Amino acid sequence: MRKTAICRLAPNTSVFCSMKTTAFDFTATSLAGARIDLDQYRGCVLLIVNTASKCGYTPQYHGLEALHRQFKDRGLVVLGFPCNQFGAQEPATAQQIGAFCEKNFGVTFPLFDKIAVNGSAADPLFDLLKKQAPGLLGTEAIKWNFTKFLVSRDGSICIRHAPSTAPAELVKDIERLLGT
């Protein structure tokens, strides 16, 4: 259920606005163009990553897929969000991204349509992720592709990992969030 608040604009004027406070309050567009309600993952631990196919960190797709396979039956869902904001490292179309990831890395976890993660056009989910799990020295901006966010089963954003953090280094945090 979405939380609703009254926002005061001027005396005797109000509008209703949706308060999105967890990762499960958002929707995203799949590579196939379908709107996906992230609420379907409620009760799961999420690993949300901004990705790119022409990045020095692109081989991390192997590690992300390995985590997905290792922990999916225990409640981990990896969600990949391609982004072209860093060095134009994701110039491909949605169809090309999906084919590339499947062919080269055997990716079976959900991939979504290309988004912006910084700036005025940033995807609202990533605005929340950045706000609730700031980076080094409290900065919110995402610095590069393959920034990773771990989200607990209740949808609260718990941990942010830098692009240089290999997916295998997340195992202890994932196990803790899964309750094992």
d(CA 46, CA 155): 8
Active-site annotation holds for 7: no
Instruction: Please pick, among 7, 17, 55, 101, the residue that the annotation labels catalytic.
Output: 55
Active site residues: 55
